[in-house]
Amino acid sequence: MLQPDIATLSTTWNFPTRVVYGAGSLNKVARACDHAGIARPLVVTDPGLAALPVTETLGTILREAGREAGLFTDVRSNPVSANVEVGVRVLREGRHDGVVALGGGSALDCGKVIAFMAGQDRPLWDFEDVGDWWTRANADGIAPIVAIPTTAGTGSEVGRAGVITDETTHTKKIIFHPRMMPGTALLDPELTVGLPKSLTAATGMDALAHCLEAYCAPSWHPMAEGIAVEGIRLIKEALPRAFAHGADLEARGMMMVAAAMGATAFQKGLGAIHSLSHPIGAIYDTHHGLTNAVVMPYVLVYNRRQIEPKIDRLAAWLGIEGGFKGFLDWILALRVELEVPHTLHDLGVPTDRFDALAAMAVADPTAAGNPEPLDRAGANRLLAEAYSGVGL
């Protein structure tokens, strides 16, 4: 695997937001708003979560602290630009001065982008994560954010970006700005105790994908790489427990921390797991974490020539025998234990648009971080293997 020349390398490292961890941390949301300078928050969540007691509890806590919070729930499972546009309008009309984003990655991403767009006068896609496009933004117009995850997967609560689907092209795009990072993330494991087994598995595998791709990315960021390794260790221990015993508060807490660690680590890079998953999710509306889980072992095999020594070390650190093959077998066994579909066919993805998906995967910004260069032929090969289940 090619490594940068450390003797001549010049780079900058970043680490994210203030994190408040512990059971009952939801009760600290008013203090988090104080820290962020939010007096009139807009709570952004999804329709399903809005109907659950946690949203009412959050509103009660804010009201009792003297904050009349607005509520915005028009968030799709893969949020689209229209969700952001309506959310910005609600925020402005309600004279809200910040966002409290509550939910999984979709609600957190949408809430963050709403806060970002609150003070912008350019179109959303002018701020896609391309080059230095983020410098086009009016940084002073970005509303502050408090993030409260209710799943343990995306780590969006500590991230500086949001993924939004462009409905006109059916393309997932990353909107990035350093000021999009939440001022405080409240990690309350009690909020994930009632998460269904299927979502526990899908979001947990998303966290694993983040840590694994960050670890394997060829860029040099030893701090992020170390965080990725510890995140994988926590997931190895905690995800099967959280799946089998949803009330295991220790396992739930470990998964919340691991998810945040994955999002911290992936500033080092992502790769073909994500570059394939993004277009599949945009076209077929599949769950992002579950799609990552399906394609993960096929991408590992595709990258083997570049990453085998690193995976050998990782397997040894994790107590997995057999180096790369042992690690791959662990991934496959974990997927079976979590009832993850083995192929794209099992996920319900047809073959008729593979060439278009391959082109979109290569164009996705995460493709650049893949250890083995990803071209259209390689993406097509990966899609075919992930559909048929061959090559593992």
307-359 tens-digit pLDDT: 999 999 999 999 999 999 999 999 999 999 999 999 999 999 999 999 999 99
Cα 22 vs. chain centroid, distance in angstroms? 21
Domain coverage including residue 372: 197-388
Q: Given a cut of 80, is residue 103 above it in pLDDT? A: yes
Do 170 and 223 fall within a single domain?
no
CB-neighbour burial class of residue 273 (10 A; exposed 0-12, middle 13-18, buried 19+): buried
CATH number of the domain at 40, please. Answer: 3.40.50.1970
* Same-domain pairing of 148 and 275: no
Q: Is the domain of 159 the same as that of 229?
A: no
Q: Does residue 326 lie within any of the structural domains?
A: yes
Instruction: With a cut of 80, say whether residue 2 has pLDDT above it.
Output: no
- Tally the domains of the chain: 2
Instruction: Please give the Cα distance from 235 to 128 (Å, whole number).
Output: 31
Q: What pLDDT band is residue 14 in, cutting at 50, 70 and 90?
A: low
Last residue of a domain, one of 136, 164, 192: 192
Q: Based on the fold, state whether residues 242 and 280 are members of the same structural domain.
A: yes
Per-residue model confidence as pLDDT tens digits over 176-220: 999 999 999 999 999 999 899 999 999 999 999 999 999 999 999
Same-domain check for residues 107 and 227: no
Residues 166 and 41 in one domain: yes
CATH number of the domain where residue 249 is located: 1.20.1090.10
Cα(140)–Cα(120) distance, rounded to whole angstroms? 9
pLDDT of 11 above 90? no
Residue 5 is predicted with a pLDDT of 77
* Contact status, residue 357 vs residue 283, Cβ threshold 8 Å: yes
The answer on 342 and 229 residing in a single domain is yes
Residue 7 belongs to a domain: no
Instruction: Give the whole-angstrom CA distance, residue 240 versus residue 222.
Output: 28
Rounded to an integer, what distance in angstroms lies between the CA atom of residue 160 and that of residue 176? 6
Q: Is residue 136 part of a domain?
A: yes
Q: Which amino acid is at 100?
A: V
Burial 278-294 (b: 16+ CB within 10 A, else e): bbbbbbbebbbbbbbbb
Task: Kindly state whether residue 2 falls inside one of the protein's structural domains.
Answer: no
Distance CA 52, CA 247 (A): 18
d(CA 217, CA 265): 10
Other Cβ atoms less than 10 A from the Cβ of 176: the count is 19
Tell whether 295 and 348 lie within a shared domain.
yes
Predicted TM-score of the model (pTM): 0.93
Spatial neighbors of 336 by CB under 8 A, at least 6 apart, are: none
Q: What is the pLDDT of residue 16?
A: 72
Report the distance separating Cα 288 and Cα 263, nearest Å: 15
4: in domain: no
What is the rounded average pLDDT of the residues 241-260? 96
Structural domain ending residue among the three candidates 164, 192, 220: 192
**Is 380 a member of any domain?**
yes
**106 located within any domain:** yes
79 is written with which tokens?
């949020």
> What is the mean predicted confidence (pLDDT) over 244-273?
96
The arithmetic mean of pLDDT across residues 230-250, rounded, is 97
Q: How confident is the model at residue 8, as a pLDDT?
A: 79
Q: Is the pLDDT of residue 10 over 80?
A: no
Q: Are 275 and 351 in a shared domain?
A: yes
42 assigned to some structural domain: yes
Residue 152 has a pLDDT of: 96
- Cβ(300)–Cβ(331) under 8 Å? yes
Pair 142, 257 in one domain: no
| One-letter amino acid for residue 106 of the chain | S
Within this chain, do residues 365 and 280 fall inside the same structural domain, yes or no? yes
Residues 211 and 315 in one domain: yes
Residue 41 has pLDDT above 70, yes or no: yes
Structural domain ending residue among the three candidates 127, 157, 192: 192
- Give the pLDDT band of residue 391 (cuts 50, 70, 90): confident
State which amino acid sits at residue 29: V
Residues in the chain: 392
- β-partners of residue 44 are 72, 101
